[in-house]
Structure 1
Amino acid sequence: MTFMLATHRIKLTALLIAANLGLMLHLLSGEIKPVSAWDWLDVAGEGGSAVLILVWIGLLLKSRPAGYVTDLLFTGLGCLFFSLFMDTVDEFIALPAAVNWDGWLESGPMPVGFILLTLGIFHWHREQLAINEQMRNRERLFREHRQFDKLTPLGDANYLRAQLQLALGEANDARQPLSVIMLDLDAFSRINREYGHAEGDRLLQVLTQLLLLNLRQHDLLCRLAGDRFAVILPHTGERQAQLLAGEMSLAVRSLAYKSSRQGERIELSATVVALMARDEDTETLLQRLNIAMARAKQHLTVQYG
């Protein structure tokens, strides 16, 4: 017997005792019919149904923990089994005409069993709805977890696109402005080359914390790729977004980041652009941002040669 069935042994014992008491009562009150009087069709139908219900009970108790719903389902099936078992016993044992309690044993538990079984199925259905909701939530969390960057605690490019699409829809419905900032760390490849990729990874983690500290609570920071970040700014016009972009650029330049090798300060700067969303989709807005970033980088190259 499996562990799950063992936890339900009291239920099984009670059902076995009830069935045996009914059988004993018939044997004490009547006499066994001759084989020629047996109705084999009834025996097969009623007895076979009782056996099938026993199989259902076994599957139920093997797959479910003890509890209110299990008790309802078991008791309902137990009543159906008892009625069918008494019907089967009645095919083998003849009772005196004065005995009338056999009708109660055969028919009485049947409607009670159906009522309890219906209640059990109703509560089981509610259980399944709750479980399905939990599974959907877990699937959503797992799917979103896969869209988070492995190095920083930020969403990746796919997560940014999904959230930006939602933000654009909400901004359009509420008729509120929405802006986006893109930040690209200057000369990051040189830092990786001179100090190693481990130092570069550490720098990106520190930079992430710095940027988060310089954003508002409802802003969303994501890492696009490498040293490029993007920020979704709900309820923000382009002028305010440009002010925030300037503050982020200043914060990067002011960061006194020390290398883990010798502790010398690594001078940092970042190119930052900000745009307000128009009546456009996610990809169009990101394309405009990338073009604005490319122009800002080109201007920086020409300026500092």
Structure 2
Amino acid sequence: MSEQIETTQREPIGFWQAVTIDIAQALRFYSRLPVPALPWEQSAHALPDFPRLIRVLPIAGLTLGILPALTLIFGELLVLGSLVSATLAVAVATLTTGAFHEDGLADTADSFGGSTRERRLEIMRDSRIGSFGASALFLALFLRISLLSSVIAYGGLTLSVMALLMIAALSRTAGLMPLVFLPPARVDGAAYAVGQPSRGSFWFAAGLASLLALALGQLGGLPPLAVGLMIALSGLIGWGFIRLSMKHLGGQTGDIAGATQQVAEIAALIGLLTMIHP
């Protein structure tokens, strides 16, 4: 039985209304947040216009960083210590997205055990987690928590909060790179269904993410060089996963995008820590 995918059809609306719709769709796609239907939105549950909404993904990513940032502030105000505060912030970030990106990282790591392209794609679709996936999840969570804890210890609360928001925007933008610069590895996956974003839309998103990072870095007291390093490392990880995905799968999948986001977040934290370490 064929299923007809509902698409969003908009009547003529204003620019800011269209931008708000795109942000709302991005938040629904990337998180478990209960984003309500907007008054001028015809269908809140339609397949998102992914090639369009990526232009505002940095704003949506920054929004997804608010709850973890507030959790970090709450933990520090209660004097729970940097390690506990960082753990709670990462936990809230994971819950907010429903482990969306973490699942992609685990599936990507498990797929390394496949001997052929077809077997790797099959492993990616398997809901079970293997030894590679479990190890990748543990190491990623450990690194995110320990790096954020060190940033709190060396940079203070304000800088750490701004860093969380910056990285939420930068890492999700980096996660777009395989989706933009590679064809889908299969024609029946989610990456194929939502459509391939244009390179022009990606560069707009990348520029917006960089501007947001520079502004937040200024608020947090970070020198532009430190922000530049975080941007560069995020982009480098995106480029690395483009190469890896092409060699590994001959294209991209949503899991590759999730893995890219996770590793880009870790890389940005490492870059930040190298700049603020006494």
- Which has the larger Rg? 1
The interval holding the TM-score normalised by the smaller chain is under 0.3
Higher relative contact order (CA 8 A, sep 6+): 2
Q: TM-score, normalised by structure 2?
A: 0.26
Q: TM-score, normalised by structure 1?
A: 0.24
Q: Which has the higher helix share?
A: 2
